Structure 1
């Protein structure tokens, strides 16, 4: 066994013993990095830091630990660390000069996002044309999860450099349901019916008060809009229920909901 471990890999000064030791260091380093990351996460959870910042800091620490593990593995192979560090510094300097601007921008943007929190973990946002629930903000990218379970990874610089529409940050939202009635229909009666539909739902908040307004005299209909304030968690359910209820109530009360139509007049010359 001693003879096998002392054998040298051809064209290198690395022995089998060095390789075995390096593998042990690699496995142990990964395990230790995971344990330290977990301890760091648990420690941060005892503070009042938001979950988004905790996730960002844990990922940043884990990346640094993996770099340290990599250097330890190189050292275990018998390579002089100082020369490796100098070589890495030269490479990093070259890369920074030509291709790391985007990475540095993403890192800086990630720090700003985690600090100022225009979005937070679990919130539903629209950023740069993409919509989803915030899963995490990493060192380089922000992760979103769409309602149909698609996973979106977006560079942090695109998040920080774009308008962010946060649909769930505020405790209440206004539900708006548009419906059209025929020109021959009784508009005041339709408004009264719509208000009745809104007030029947216990989820509708009294303040601000609900309303039904006329928004447009369209080509084939008089357009009404039902407006009701609701807790943000009830937004989509209420919007769906109001849409179904107003359709059913207008049908029961003989209020016409017209479909688009076009009258064509033909003249014989």
Structure 2
């Protein structure tokens, strides 16, 4: 008797539909099995593709794309098993997509297409430090819709792929070597030749500075208060910041030790006024260093 009752419940038709309980159970089991299979297939795919020479960024993108595609197939199979007319749903979905595109969702598909190009051409790669669309950070991931950057102060920036592909990209770590540039000004009374020699000795005496290309010092400007020099030293990309920090602090200490003056901006004011005005200006001169008044 219990078996007859159980069989009757399973074959019971859900109200307002022609779907039986047994079909719902079968479809749900099929859905769960399909999702588990998708997870397994994606894992196998990623392991297989990791053995190739494709970059990590490309394998990550392809893994996400395959997972979404397989999930859509599983959902369609699930609906088909329930007796729904999947073909009509596909046609209806196409119509909806057309309507959505007309309402401005073309950006979604633009981002997907841009993501494919970014993953294929690889102007950026995972772990590289880049500047994209005015934002600077280390590439954390490139997804189907967007690219994620992690800034040096640990902020996560998400940029739509169409902006990544459609803007200039500065890749700061792609090349094996880079040039560190440090600007410094010396007074017009200082010995220029001596200042250049001190800077060259400083760069040549620091091991992380490469000797090929050879470091150099150039005069960049005859400014209002100083003769501006620029120290140019090549280093491995990973040593760039250390080299720049060393040269910035080192040139200051070296010039101070050798008597090379690094001036601060100053302004000369010539005044031809009454004695009262001159007295006020002299008081201002006393209170503010760097401003000299002449009668």
TM-score calculated relative to the size of structure 1: 0.89
1:159 lines up with 2:167 in the alignment: no
Q: Deviations over 1:204-242 (max 9, x none)?
A: 111111001111111222111100011111111111111
1:268 lines up with 2:273 in the alignment: yes
Residue in structure 2 matched with residue 230 of structure 1 by the alignment: 235
Distance 2:251 2:10 in 1: 81
Q: Deviations over 1:168-189 (max 9, x none)?
A: 1111111101111122222211
Structure number with greater Rg is 2
Distance change in 2, residues 1:114/1:10 (3 Å): same
1:101 lines up with 2:106 in the alignment: yes
Distance change in 2, residues 1:13/1:245 (3 Å): farther
The partner residue of 1:68 within 66, 70, 73 is 73
1:254 lines up with 2:234 in the alignment: no
Equivalent residues in 2 for 1:107-118, closer than 5 Å: 107-118=112-123
SS of residue matched to 1:189: helix
Q: Deviations over 1:129-168 (max 9, x none)?
A: 0111122222222222211222222111111111111111
Equivalent residues in 2 for 1:70-219, closer than 5 Å: 70-219=75-224
Distance 2:262 2:25 in 1: 78
For structure 2, which runs of at least 5 residues remain unmatched after alignment? 1-5, 275-295
Higher RCO (C-alpha under 8 Å, 6+ residues apart): 1
Distance 1:185 1:20 in 2: 90
Distance change in 2, residues 1:14/1:261 (3 Å): farther
Residue in structure 2 matched with residue 37 of structure 1 by the alignment: 42
**Bigger mean CA deviation after superposition, 12-21 or 221-230:** 12-21
SS of residue matched to 1:201: coil
Q: Deviations over 1:80-120 (max 9, x none)?
A: 32332232222123223443321222222222222222222
Distance 1:149 1:64 in 2: 33
Distance 1:6 1:180 in 2: 90
Q: Deviations over 1:55-76 (max 9, x none)?
A: 2211111110121232234345
> Considering only aligned residues, what root-mean-square deviation do their CA atoms show, in Å?
2.3
Distance 1:9 1:253 in 2: 94
User: How many residues were matched structurally?
Assistant: 269
Distance 2:245 2:7 in 1: 75
Distance change in 2, residues 1:154/1:207 (3 Å): same
Distance 1:23 1:129 in 2: 48
SS of residue matched to 1:260: coil
Distance change in 2, residues 1:177/1:18 (3 Å): farther
